[in-house]
Amino acid sequence: MTVQTFRELLARQPFKPFRLVMSSGESYDVRHPEMAMLTRHDILVGTEIADDGVPAEFKICSLLHVATIEPLSSSSGGTSQRAS
């Protein structure tokens, strides 16, 4: 995936939540554009979002290892997750 792909996803109006599925099988949900930040080679995704909306930590995901991007339903529960 390219930086431009993620710029477009994060800038989309209205924003549409999505899931990053990594080549390792792990997955991370991006439910709000402020919960992700891009660098040249990575996307940082906030995880374990508390009730106040602030992430407890973040995961650094290499853009090279993003296998797929899946749309999320805006009514889905949870914030970020790892797939087994």
* Residue 34 DSSP one-character state: G
Q: How many CA atoms does the CB half-sphere of 24 hold within 13 Å?
A: 11
pLDDT of res. 1:
79
Q: Is residue 48 part of a domain?
A: yes
Q: What is the pTM of this model?
A: 0.80
Please give the residue that has the higher pLDDT: either 84 or 13: 13
Instruction: Print the domain residue range for 62.
Output: 3-71
> Is residue 78 pLDDT above 60, yes or no?
no
Within a domain: 79: no
**58 or 80: which leads in pLDDT:** 58
pLDDT (tens digit, 9 = 90+) per residue, 26-77? 999 999 999 999 999 999 999 988 888 788 899 999 999 999 999 998 654 4
- Res 75: pLDDT: 54
Where does 1-84 have alpha helices with state H? 3-11
Q: Is residue 26 part of a domain?
A: yes
Q: How far apart are CA 84 and CA 82, in angstroms?
A: 7
CATH code for the domain of 65:
2.30.30
With respect to residue 18, please indicate whether it lies within any of the assigned structural domains. yes
